[in-house]
Amino acid sequence: MELRAVDAGPADGDPVVLLHGFPQRASSWDRVAPLLHADGMRTIALDQRGYCASARPRGRRAYRISELIGDVIALLDTAGLADAHVVGHDWGAAVAWGLAGNHPERVRSLTAVSVPHPAAFLKAMVVSDQLLRSWYIGFFQLPLLPELILTSAGPIPARALAGMGMTREMIERYRAEMVTDGAVRGGLGWYRALPFASPRGATARVRVPTTFVWSDNDAALGRGGAELTERYVDADYRFLELSGVSHWIPDERPTELAEAIVARARDAV
């Protein structure tokens, strides 16, 4: 497989790996990356497994979290980096949590966006409304039907994404990058690999300086997991709550997010 990454900013700047979520690609960082460059940071935004046309394996096991973490390690190795600051949104945050928990020597600092620590997420499924919010994870396990709906030319996909807070511009980008480019099935593969995840590897405690950024208008991720996350970080930890913001924090609040990333990176040195 061949993955694509956008390497930008000062070549000698502190490296920041940016990991996108579903249903977006590396372009989801387009409003954040220039702000990090202005602070002297180098960004490497990875177009992850299942999204690049040259890296779309068909089997579900190919999208296990261990494989996704391995892709980030391969990225660091290819870039000649012993470690980097790691930032992830949505599914990218899940990969970032796993990387920091299992390979702390490769992570200078962690900024997780929207998705809480995996163990906190699982706990929240029992003690909060998170199970109801996560109904779509079960739906995505079905064969073919999710692809048919998410790639439909009708109004259903646009309405669903708008209900989650996406703007018209973001929905148009989704159609171009996910639907037209054929990335929907690969993105769904991440969800379909969940039954094959190693619980121990996916929920490892984190021992690197960490900031968790969450927004109170996130329809998919509730306060329960956000408040539980601190329990699973054995290092300097900060929690930033953004008020009135939907799930799409990098698009809606790039300035606040960039400031949080820079503050975490500087304090981790």
pLDDT for the residue numbered 13: 97
Domains and CATH numbers, the chain: 4-268 (3.40.50.1820)
Radius of gyration of the chain (CA): 17
What pLDDT, on the 0 to 100 scale, is given for residue 48? 97
Task: Identify the pLDDT of residue 155.
Answer: 92
The pLDDT, as a whole number, for residue 9 is 98
**What are the average pLDDT values for consecutive 10-residue runs of the chain, which has 269 residues?**
96 98 98 98 98 95 96 98 98 98 98 98 96 97 96 94 97 98 98 89 92 98 98 98 98 98 92
Q: Are 247 and 135 in contact (CB under 8 A)?
A: no
Q: Which residues are catalytic?
A: 90, 191, 247
Preceding omega of 23 cis (within 30 degrees of 0): yes
pLDDT number for residue 268: 84
Give the model's pLDDT for residue 202. Answer: 77
- Per-residue model confidence (pLDDT) at position 200: 75
Question: What's residue 138's pLDDT?
Answer: 96
Q: pTM for the complete prediction?
A: 0.97
Residue 203's pLDDT is 86
**Which residue from 88, 86, 112, 129 is spatially nearest to 232, judged by alpha carbons?**
112
Residue-level pLDDT at 199 = 75
CA–CA distance, 130 with 107 (Å, rounded to integer): 29
pLDDT at 31: 98
Q: How far apart, in whole angstroms, are the C-alpha atoms of residue 52 and residue 59?
A: 16
Task: Report the pLDDT value the prediction gives residue 197, as an integer from 0 to 100.
Answer: 86
Helix, strand, coil percentages, rounded to 5, for the chain: 50, 15, 35
18-57 in b/e form (b: 16+ CB < 10 A) is bbbbbbbbbebbebbbebbbebebbbbbbbbbbbbeebbe
**Contact yes or no for 250/30 (Cβ under 8 A):** no
